[in-house]
Every structure is written in C-alpha cells, then in structure tokens.
C-alpha cells in the first residue's frame, strides 16, 4: 500500500491535531495520482463503486497524515470515529456504502482495531466539488 503525499491545507486549519492519546485528522478529500481532486455528484456523475473508491482514497490520505504526525502507523491503537460526507443528489441514500470505502480500508490495515463508530452524511456540495470528504479520529500511543 502506497500512501500519498500529505496535502497542504487550502484554508486556515492544520491537517491534524493531537491532544493526549487522540489524533484528530482533518477532513480528507480524494485526489488522484496526479493530485487532482476527484469530483462529482454521487447519484448523477458517479456511481456507488466509484464513490466507494474515492472514499478509500480519503482513507489513504488520512493514514498518510497520521503517519506524518505519529511517525509510524504501528502507533495507532485503534480507529475511534469516522465522519463521512458524500456529495450526492438529494434523493441519494447509499451514503453508508460509499463511506465503507474508508471503513473497509481501516479494517484491512488495523484489523479489529480498525472498526470504529461512524456517521455518513449526504451533502449538497463539498469544497472544490469533491465527491466525498472524510474526517477521522485515532487513538494513538
């Protein structure tokens, strides 16, 4: 598994904040191998499989941020919480299946410690037209 470069924030925030044994990773949007944002409205421009893959890419970015902050992913104790936003049409209802792209990756990487509490929202739009955005919380040592 190859992790991407950590993106530079485009607004007034930092990629992650650690407080005690918790690492909050800011919302990650999907970017392709060239760094271009993966955009589209799920349910119109993009199907559930493409959106699932976009959420997985968000997971890779979150792991890259975590690794940069804590030095080694072996320092992750568990994934605590995930909040996924899906840029979707008003009638779209498969947000959980989309965000499974992120969740399934966390379980593949961390096993049972990758299972987490989660919420998956539909959004009318996301920054830059991103198809998905995912924020995460890790317990770390």
Beta strands in the chain (DSSP E): 16-19, 22-28, 76-87, 117-123, 132-140
pLDDT tens digits, 75-127: 999 999 999 999 999 999 999 999 999 999 999 999 999 999 999 999 999 99
Contact 38, 97 (CB under 8 A): no
pLDDT value of residue 1: 83
pLDDT tens digits, 10-57: 899 999 999 999 999 999 999 999 999 999 999 999 999 999 999 999
Tell me the Ramachandran region of residue 30: left when phi exceeds 0, alpha when psi lies from -120 to 50, beta otherwise. Answer: beta
CA distances to 13, 42, 68, 93 from 8, in Å: 10, 26, 13, 32
Tell me the domains of the chain and their CATH numbers. Answer: 18-140 (3.30.1330.40)
Q: Give this prediction's pTM.
A: 0.97
Q: 87 pairs with which residues across the strands? A: 123
């Amino acid at each position: 598994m190859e992790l991407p470069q950590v993106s530079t924030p485009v607004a007034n925030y930092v990629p992650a904040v650690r407080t005690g044994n918790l690492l909050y990773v800011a919302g990650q949007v999907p970017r392709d191998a060239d760094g271009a944002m993966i955009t589209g409205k799920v349910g119109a421009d993009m199907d559930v499989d493409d959106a699932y893959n976009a959420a997985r890419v968000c997971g890779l970015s979150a792991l890259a941020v975590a690794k940069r902050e804590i030095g080694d992913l072996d320092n992750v104790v568990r994934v605590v919480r995930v909040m996924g936003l899906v840029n979707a049409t008003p009638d779209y209802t498969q947000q959980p299946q989309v965000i499974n792209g992120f969740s399934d990756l966390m379980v593949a990487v961390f096993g049972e410690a990758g299972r987490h509490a989660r919420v998956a929202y539909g959004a009318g739009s996301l920054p830059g037209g991103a198809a998905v955005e995912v924020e995460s919380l890790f317990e770390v040592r």
